[in-house]
Structure 1
């Protein structure tokens, strides 16, 4: 145990970690503040934090990291650690946003639709992306972000996939993972923003009730911020939010299923004979526990908004850390087909959501 704490203290107590953590914290806070502006609220705090991290990469490298190999490795390592660990903590705290009592009462009718939407979108987007020669990890991250809840889903699913892999991975593999995460997050952010504007313009022209428009917004849009913004514009923010949170609830099941699938896919044909790592993303159990505590324990229920805000700050720091490490050339060269696949899937998702809202709500 002493050795464990000594090892982690050595990794954390460095000037590179201090500098990187402060920069990521400032980016996360800036994202939380800027998301309140009229246009930027469509993107949300996490996307803004990611963009700030990406913008900070150039001055950090030019004026600090390039001056020393140790600095470069130290900052990259610190950013990777922040992205990995604070991601999990942020996802756990995000569980307090899910009030299970509301979902299982007011949102009872939306849960079956959420399950169908998430399943069809993930399977369909992944199959389409793979048919277009998108790498498996990027294809699944794009599918999860499109089907569930945007950036938070991308990061949670990435964490569940990583939890089934070996803890010891090369620097090249770590960079590849980070590039896939950033590309998937950027893709669903753009698609969500575009389709939020489409929903706001198109849905009032269709023969749908206000409630049905809220269902479509919650069922078809990517980020929670997208669903809330569109729902508010359509006069159905409460219904849109409940429908969207019903999809967020599916993140628990999706992360577990994808972890098992990814583990089997990764081990297929390798002939491993030693003990296998249990393919369970343990941080998702924390997400479940937070949802339950926030629903049934009065103290946690009262503090749920603050805990969720803290979760978004940690997630924002993780996103900013990803931005600091992203390889722009690799992201742009490998991401085009993922964007096309997500666009086609988003069109199909919108059409399906309109049909389902018209027929069943």
Structure 2
């Protein structure tokens, strides 16, 4: 029995590791870098559904990897945040990040609900649109506590939300690169625009680099300011969803959804900022974060019915698209006025 369980875990771990390694490699190629390693790992996991043996024989192990590796990856991602660099960017950048995250998450959710999108999918799509793409979707999802009967549907919501922010980010990154000659922005202003309005870090890097070195640095700092909002946003959304669910169902409030792994995320950023690690070690930890997150994304891709996803994603896509347009216009005005 124990040997059988070990074999199933090796099968699940090996399959997701291959997807993550391949996703990270493909994510470094010129034409695929804008898609991002995490989304590519997810797609590779979905492609493994043509081999049903993995899903059938290691279902519980796939679920364990998706759950536990997600939290470990989010913690390791904290090493990417240099708090001194974020502080040096100034109060304006942090305030802009707070306004963007609060406004975009609220607006996307509101539009989604008006269009009839279910609350769980609406908040995941909103989080990915407003904060930091796939990592935000996966970081917020554990805060959306659903009954066991809805867990498979929630996994579908996760994949759909990741797909939404991947497509929206790519479309808007290409749009901003095309609009750059017409906007007449300084390199700093263009960096604020890309870092403040695009979804994934990969999108901000790809678009920001079109404006030169200053633009790229500004885009990364602005985008990481939004990433910093992931921990407080997870806490707020967890409390909000629990209260909202209690009002809708009348159920008593359960355990407060405190995302302890987000404390690890903040601790990792503090350690990475103030402990004198070499640049190579920090880069290695960030690569490990994307590898672990890639395994979690691949596990998610293996475990969902993605045919169902495409049948109910149109309204959520529309909500993210409309909110992304509003976000682009807002950040453009702010970058011209204050930067």
1:42 and 1:229 in contact (8 A); partners too = yes
Structure 1 distance, partners of 2:90, 2:168, is 25
- Tell me whether 1:200 sits opposite 2:177 in the alignment: yes
Corresponding residue of 1:147: 130
> Mean Cα displacement is larger for which, 237-246 or 104-113?
104-113
Q: Which moved more, 1:225-234 or 1:329-338?
A: 329-338
- Residue 46 of structure 1, CA deviation: 0.2
More displaced 10-residue stretch of structure 1: 182-191 or 322-331: 322-331
Q: How far, CA to CA, are the matches of 1:45 and 1:38 in structure 2?
A: 12
Tell me the TM-score normalized by structure 2: 0.95
Label 1:269 to 1:133 Cα distance change in 2 as closer, same or farther (>3 A): closer
Distance 1:345 1:10, change over 3 A: farther
Q: Which moved more, 1:76-85 or 1:95-104?
A: 76-85
Q: Give distance in 2, aligned partners of 1:312 and 1:154.
A: 15
TM-fit CA distance, 1:301: 7.0
Q: CA deviation at 1:10?
A: 6.2
User: SS of the residue aligned with 1:38?
Assistant: coil
Distance in 2 (CA, whole Å) between partners of 1:270 and 1:185 is 28
- In the TM superposition, what is the alpha-carbon distance from 1:12 to its structure 2 partner? 9.8
**Whole-angstrom CA distance in 2 between matches of 1:112 and 1:267:** 32
Aligned equivalent of 1:55: 47
Match of 1:255 in 2: 234
Which consecutive unaligned segments of at least 5 residues does structure 1 have? 1-8, 66-70
Pairwise CA distance, 1:269: 5.9
Give the number of aligned pairs: 337
Q: 2:96 aligns with which of 90, 113, 133?
A: 113
**TM superposition shift of 1:266:** 2.3
**In structure 2, how many angstroms separate the alpha carbons of the residues matched to 1:217 and 1:312?**
22
Q: Does 1:350 align with 2:328?
A: yes
**Cα distance in 2 for residues equivalent to 1:128 and 1:13:** 45
Per-residue deviation at 1:161? 2.3
Q: CA deviation at 1:207?
A: 2.5
Report the equivalent of 1:268. Answer: 247
Q: Secondary structure at the match of 2:41?
A: helix
Pairs within 5 Å for 1:86-125: 86-125=69-108
For residues 23 and 116 of structure 1, do their structure 2 counterparts lie closer, same or farther at Cα, with a shift above 3 Å needed?
Answer: same
Aligned position for 2:221: 242
Question: C-alpha displacement at 1:109, in angstroms?
Answer: 2.5
